[in-house]
Amino acid sequence: MGLASINEIIQRIISPQIRSLSAYAVPSSAGYIKLDAMENPYQWSNELRDAWLERMREANINRYPDPAAVGLKKQLAKVMSVPNGLSMVLGNGSDELIQMLIMAVAGQGAVMSPEPGFVMYKMLAKLLGVEYIGVPLQEDDFQLDMPVMLEAIKQHQPALIFIAYPNNPTGNLYHANDIEQIIQQASGLVVIDEAYAAFTDSSYMSRITHYNNVLVMRTVSKMGLAGLRLGLLVGAPEWIQEIDKIRLPYNINVLTQISAEFALEHHQVLDQQTAQIREDRTRLFEQLASFSEIQAFPSDANFILLRMPKDKAPQIHQALRDEHKILIKVLHGSHPLLDDCLRVTVGTPDENKAFITALGEVLN
Ligand SMILES: *Cc1c(COP(=O)(O)O)cnc(C)c1O
């Protein structure tokens, strides 16, 4: 057996599902205006950085981190207004929480999500060998197609439904009545993914206790701490207890625990930045809407979905990248409802201006 080639051994022991996937690709971005990944573009002041680094002196990197991250959870509960009596499990990004949730139901039923939606639901389900069902949204406004959604729930009885609220990559909030119906009809768990909570006033956090089958997921990534990799899942203690069994014991490292706790003590700084981004989103949307040849979709997140003239999206994306050093995301080709679509993250006022100017040139 020692004489088999690497490829032969791979064929034999790596499953076809995994071999058929491609790794999550992230292009290098040095020297570009980065408007492709929904990051908060703002840095901290030197004073705040110094105070943070001073706090980091406490880090005992020779020891394992607090496995329960008690201090950090308290801060998160306070800043995110988690209702009393609910529990929380933390993930290395909410991506890890999505993975834990799917692992928890593996073998018991399918994972379902409206599409186009966040790609990790499908990707992680496939990686874990769990059946995944994507249910198409309405074509014109990306709202839930309720007859189709309810029929899919009835037919497949999914163990787990992910609802991104607001949705990525479309940016919209679904109608509350529709979500209510899904929660009522679902025989399994409904996870409301509020990755963009900082950019909208709508949330299910205060309503979790109204239901038996709802968890709310948040992340600190989009609010300005993407580098830390920290997500949280909130719900009834009975649910969280089960999910917590799947968590690797020390999944939130010491540096992240200390840094996130510090950042949340100074959450006003992040609040101010995200409020600025919300304001700039309005301006950016108006400017985009003034281009007659493209369509901009209203957004409750920190990005805007755009539809380009037919068959032009890849070429516009490339011209922005190569001629103007601006990175945005191509969605064309990722789902039939996203034909000709691109997605731009709201940046600083200067970055947004550079994008608008460049787009104007590229469209001409
Ligand atoms: C970005 C994003 C996430 C992942 O966030 P991380 O905490 O950085 O892993 C989850 N859900 C949605 C809808 C997102 O857009």
> Distance, CA 263 to ligand 1 centroid (Å)?
19
Ligand 1 atom closest to 164 (CA)? 13
Whether the CB-CB separation of 149 and 198 falls below 8 Å is answered with no
Residues 159/165/171/175 CA torsion (nearest 10 deg): 100
Whole-number pLDDT of residue 20: 86
Pocket of ligand 1 (CB under 6 A): 38, 93-95, 118, 164, 168, 193, 195, 219, 221, 226, 231
Q: Candidates 92, 193, 331: which one to mutate for ligand 1, based on the most atoms within 8 Å of Cβ?
A: 193
- pLDDT level of residue 3 (50, 70, 90 thresholds): confident
Instruction: Confirm if 132 and 111 have CB atoms less than 8 A apart.
Output: yes
Cβ proximity of 131 and 110 under 8 Å: yes
Closest alpha carbon to 310 in 298, 293, 322, 297: 293
Q: Across residues 339-356, what is the average pLDDT?
A: 98
Collapse the DSSP code of 312 into the 3-class scheme (helix H, G, I; strand E, B; otherwise coil) and give the result. Answer: coil
Indicate if the pLDDT at residue 181 is higher than 80: yes
Query: Per residue in 319-342, pLDDT tens?
Result: 999 999 999 999 999 999 999 999
Over residues 11-23, mean pLDDT: 88
Residues 215 and 191 sit within 8 Å (Cβ to Cβ): yes
Q: How far apart are CA 190 and CA 193, in angstroms?
A: 9
The per-residue pLDDT for range 50-82, each reduced to its tens digit, is 999 999 998 999 999 999 999 999 999 999 999
Residue 1 pLDDT level (bands cut at 50, 70, 90): low
pLDDT tens-digit series, residues 210-240:
999 999 999 999 999 999 999 999 999 999 9
Q: Tokens 């409750």, residue? A: 300
Joined tokens for residue 261: 């706790």
Q: Which atom of ligand 1 is closest in space to residue 220's alpha carbon?
A: 7
pTM above 0.75, yes or no: yes
CA of 164 to the centre of ligand 1 (A): 9
Q: Ligand 1, residue 118: give the atom nearest the CA.
A: 13
Separation of alpha carbons 339 and 333, rounded Å: 6
Pocket probe for ligand 1: among 26, 36, 89, 94, the residue whose CB has the most ligand atoms within 8 Å is: 94
